[in-house]
Amino acid sequence: MAPTDELVFAPLGGVGEIGMNLGLYGFGPRKARTWLIVDLGMSFAGEEAPGVDLVLPDIRFLETERKNIAGLVLTHGHEDHIGAVLDLWPRLKCPIYTTGFTAGLLEAKRAGEPGAPSQLPITVVRRGAPVELGPFSVEFIPVAHSIPDSHALAIRTKAGLVVHTGDWKLDPTPVVGLPTDVARLAALGDEGVRAIICDSTNAIRDGVSPSEAEVAASLRQIVGKARHRVAFTTFSSNVARIRGIAEAAYANGREVVVVGRALERVIGVAREQGLLDGVPAFRSAEAYGYLPREKVVAILTGSQGEPRAALRRIADDDHPEIALSPGDLVVFSSRTIPGNEKVVNHIVNALIKRGVEVLTDRQALVHVSGHPRRGELTEMYRLVRPQVAVPVHGEALHLHEHALLAKSLGVPEVVNCYDGHVIRLAPGPAERVDDVPFGRLYKDGRLLIADGARSIPERRKLSYVGAVSVAVAVDRQGGLAGDPSVEITGIPERGEGGIDMLDHVLDTVVATLDGLPKARRRDPDALAETLERAVRSAVNAVWGKKPVCHVHILEV
């Protein structure tokens, strides 16, 4: 190791927020580091970006460092860890390394998405067998999570060993997949761990998360007590939950119907990987209407209120094949992601109004998190015994509480870190030494739009105040070549005092034109500016809001 070599960690997403995970490890001198990318995820847009489908991390820093990237390593197959790969990999074109189920999910997604790369250079690695990527040696260590084939990473360099936990929990009976390999983690602790980069999602919750096996037992009881149809909605990627629901159905003499493309895709990959061995083939939506009410269990997409997912369409009585009747039961075997409460509540209320019973994790053990609570974090630190702790994967509160816990457990150095920070892990004291560019990209239809692009704030403004379009034709002498044309969008039809808003705008345009000398009409820019000011002021006078106003001047 050269005297100028450093090992650094630099997150571009997922630290200070939940979702959109993208972590970087760099090794070498400051001006010539080699980079290892860990995960490349997405998140969902909120009200701040109307009409936007997904939010991806801004990778402009990585694009400038493309020739120095050793590879992209994926810890597991959740969308907040792999969801940006298809859109952003073409900008990087680096090799990808992951394990079997994650690779299968990514390939199935690639095959079904228009415009995706024709192929991805994925190397499927074996857990426990180190992968050499430039100055990094990466070992995949099984951990329990809410999707199969999840892994922590042991990242070795000449500067020391780092444990990157990914998403994990301590679950000795995960139903599908392997439990967390505590023996291997303890062995790494014996070897000497310089730093742990650790999941903070549930750092504010005491105790230990229940096991997936406990949920499966609870689901069996719920199905056994139900009189009519039972419909479960859960995260499509939770194969253990899907298996638990299926076993609950079969134990009570019921058939399983699966509804939703995302579920079908995950189930297909799970069967290929042997994760649903012994579970009979599921029935399609077409079979639903032919099964007796007391003999069916449905598994539906839409636990987060997605507008075109099965559950939302069923709640709105808009599904062509699936309907629920009074007395049927819908079980939300999931948690509501922050920001989705309003749309999920819409579904719950719509179902209850129609006489459908609804069960959530507030009433019964129907869901457990895939992330560690404080008791599990304490055990992880006992096993690994790191010199440095860097809390990640969480909002500010989660990171803060995790840092306090790590300090209370005697970790010598605890570093506060957020997206864009460059944290030196070794040699010397762990601390923030630099910053790199970071941000967001909005996936808007088939386009990727930068966070600072005009279209997003303009669209947000339109959603608040509407728009007026004015078209005026003038001749070279400044005379009108026809009647003005006016359109209003997103504006009340009638203003204060019952004034017809369209007529009010048109009258304003005509009056403004009549009051202008022909010389001023001959200047298109000045004419447009005058009309825009007049229209916005007139609308504000009878509505209390100033709309966006577009004025088109046609010279004839």
What is the mean predicted confidence (pLDDT) over 531-549?
A: 93
Beta bridge partners of 169: 144
Please give the Cα distance from 11 to 392 (Å, whole number): 9
Residue 109 confidence (pLDDT)? 92
Indicate the burial class of 548 (C-beta count within 10 angstroms; 0-12, 13-18, 19 or more).
middle
* H or E stretch at 272: helix 261-272
How do 413-414 and 22-28 pair as beta strands? unpaired
CA distances from 48 to 53, 64, 461, 463, 465 (A): 12, 29, 10, 11, 15
Residue 33 confidence (pLDDT)? 96
pLDDT band at 520 (very low <50, low <70, confident <90, very high): confident
**Phi and psi angles of residue 73, each rounded to the nearest 5 degrees, phi first:** -110, 130
Report whether pLDDT(48) > 80.
no
Residues 6+ apart with CB under 8 A from 436: 10, 12, 61, 420, 422
Helix (H, G, I), strand (E, B) or coil at 138: strand
Residue 121 confidence (pLDDT)? 96
Q: Listing from the earlier edge strand, what are the strands of the sheet with 122-124?
A: 122-124, 96-98, 69-73, 34-38, 22-28, 6-13, 421-426, 431-435
Residue 213 confidence (pLDDT)? 96
Q: Which of 409, 347, 343, 348 is nearest to 374 (CA)?
A: 409
Residue 459 confidence (pLDDT)? 83
Report whether pLDDT(1) > 80.
no
Report whether pLDDT(45) > 80.
no
Q: Which of 179, 241, 184 is nearest to 216 (CA)?
A: 241
* H or E stretch at 504: helix 501-514
pLDDT in tens, 192-207: 999 999 999 999 999 9
What is the mean predicted confidence (pLDDT) over 38-44?
A: 94
pLDDT in tens, 423-462: 999 999 999 999 999 999 988 888 888 887 778 888 888 8
Report whether pLDDT(112) > 90.
no
Residue 49 or 353, more confident: 353
Measured N-to-C along each axis, helices 182-191 and 374-384 cross at an angle, to the nearest 10 degrees, of 50
Q: Which of 224, 366, 358 is nearest to 294 (CA)?
A: 224
How do 548-555 and 329-332 pair as beta strands? unpaired
Q: Which of 113, 138, 143, 144 is nearest to 126 (CA)?
A: 138
Concatenated DSSP letters for 397-463? HHHHHHHHHHHHTT-SEE----TTEEEEEESSS-EEEEE----EEEEETTEEEETT-THHHHHHHHH
pLDDT in tens, 325-346: 999 999 999 998 877 889 999 9
110-124, 347-361, 441-455: range with lowest mean pLDDT: 441-455
Residue 61: what residue type?
A: F
Report whether pLDDT(188) > 80.
yes
Q: Which of 169, 278, 270, 150 is nearest to 213 (CA)?
A: 169
1-5, 147-151, 407-411: range with lowest mean pLDDT: 1-5
pLDDT in tens, 278-306: 999 999 999 998 999 999 999 999 999 88
Please give the Cα distance from 398 to 376 (Å, whole number): 15
pLDDT band at 20 (very low <50, low <70, confident <90, very high): very high
Report the Cα–Cα distance between both ends of the chain, in Å, rounded. 75
* H or E stretch at 501: helix 501-514
Q: In the structure encoding, which two tokens stand for residue 344, read together?
A: 């999920």
Neighbours of 478 (CB within 10 A): 15
Q: In the structure encoding, which two tokens stand for residue 295, read together?
A: 């003999």
Residue 82 confidence (pLDDT)? 97
